[in-house]
Structure 1
Amino acid sequence: MLAPSGNICRSPIAEAVFRKLVTEENIEKQWRIDSAATSTYELGNPPDYRGQNCMRKHGITMNHIARQVTKDDFLAFDYILCMDESNLRDLKRKSNQIQNCKARIELLGSYDPEKQLIIEDPYYGNDEDFETVYQQCLRCCKEFLEKSH
């Protein structure tokens, strides 16, 4: 699972990218892929239109409605990958309150072969910023997939 703050920009992009990668490898049945927010800002909203445009440009479909991380997510997912240190702190704090938390909480950027640890929020940026997020997510998701199976 992928978790940023609002769940309309970075994590839906990463979710869609990862879903496409596992589908291309014909291993989608081995994965449960989702994304969720650490905040309540955008609950119920679709992904940002700029992210959707970016993904369309790359031939990737996005089907997501923003939701918040739940207690069950910490019990159901093996990994919760987040985008920046603020998300990491929030998720680790929440996970400490969950008995038998099985999720490994990490920065998605820790898998970036180009060592870009933080995936910056493109919300206040432009189309180029969404493209940067897409490229980072693609690199990180490919590396994560390679290392995780």
Structure 2
Amino acid sequence: MTYRVCFVCTGNICRSPMAEAVFHARVVDAGLDGLVEADSAGTDGWHEGEGADPRAVTVLEENGYGVAHTARQFQPSWFSRLDLVVALDTGHLRALRRLAPTEQDAVKVRLLRSYDAAADRGDLDVPDPYYGGVDGFGECLEMVETASTGLLAAVREQVEGRAA
């Protein structure tokens, strides 16, 4: 059975597609491709149908990640097919938990940086780089990469637990 992860930010053109691309690469490198699927969406539909922000694409490509992306809005019905919903900041976390049809679904929502053992527990947000320059996208990528290591370990544990 495939373990499904969906990364969620506001418009699904910056942070969440970056997290999806990084995590997908980690999954492939770990030999879990086919066992774990990564996806992304936005809490809002402002950019539905658009590609990822060109600055996000540039930073990802410069760091060896591929990205083929079309923005879409997260739907509450998706909770039933997802194992984990990863919010990029606390605003997304609150919005997603409000959308969750059940308490069991709400528990599936976690902050990405909660998987980064070195992160400041008082500030687990990945800042939105949209209104800044390309440097903000680089900083976003660093946070995503660091947290993805812990996230992959947690997901691997879940996947191996299912197989046992």
Return the TM-score normalized by structure 2: 0.85
**Shift, 1:70, TM fit:** 1.4
Deviation string 1:59-107 (CA, Å, 9 cap, x unpaired) is 1100110011113321111100011111111100000x35863861011
Task: For 2:37 and 2:106, locate their aligned partners in 1 and report how far apart those are by CA, in whole Å.
Answer: 15
Q: Which of residues 57, 62, 71 is equivalent to 1:57?
A: 62
Deviation string 1:89-127 (CA, Å, 9 cap, x unpaired) is 1100000x3586386101101112331511000000111
Write out the 4+ residue segments of structure 1 that deviate beyond 4 Å after TM superposition.
none
Relative to its length, the structure with more strand (as a share) is 2
Task: For 2:103 and 2:72, locate their aligned partners in 1 and report how far apart those are by CA, in whole Å.
Answer: 22
The 3-state SS of whatever aligns with 1:29 is coil
Q: Identity across aligned pairs (percent)? A: 30
CA gap 1:100/1:82 in 2 versus in 1, 3 angstroms: closer
Query: Corresponding residue for 2:36?
Result: 31
The 3-state SS of whatever aligns with 2:110 is strand
Matches within 5 A, 1:1-149: 1-95=6-100, 97-98=101-102, 101=105, 104-116=108-120, 117-149=124-156
CA gap 1:9/1:76 in 2 versus in 1, 3 angstroms: same
The 3-state SS of whatever aligns with 2:37 is coil
Q: Is the 8 A contact 1:77 1:103 kept in 2?
A: no
Residue type at the aligned position of 1:113: A
Alpha-carbon RMSD across the aligned residues, in angstroms, is: 1.6
The 3-state SS of whatever aligns with 1:20 is helix
Aligned residues: 148
The 3-state SS of whatever aligns with 1:33 is strand
Return the TM-score normalized by structure 1: 0.93
Task: For 2:152 and 2:104, locate their aligned partners in 1 and report how far apart those are by CA, in whole Å.
Answer: 25
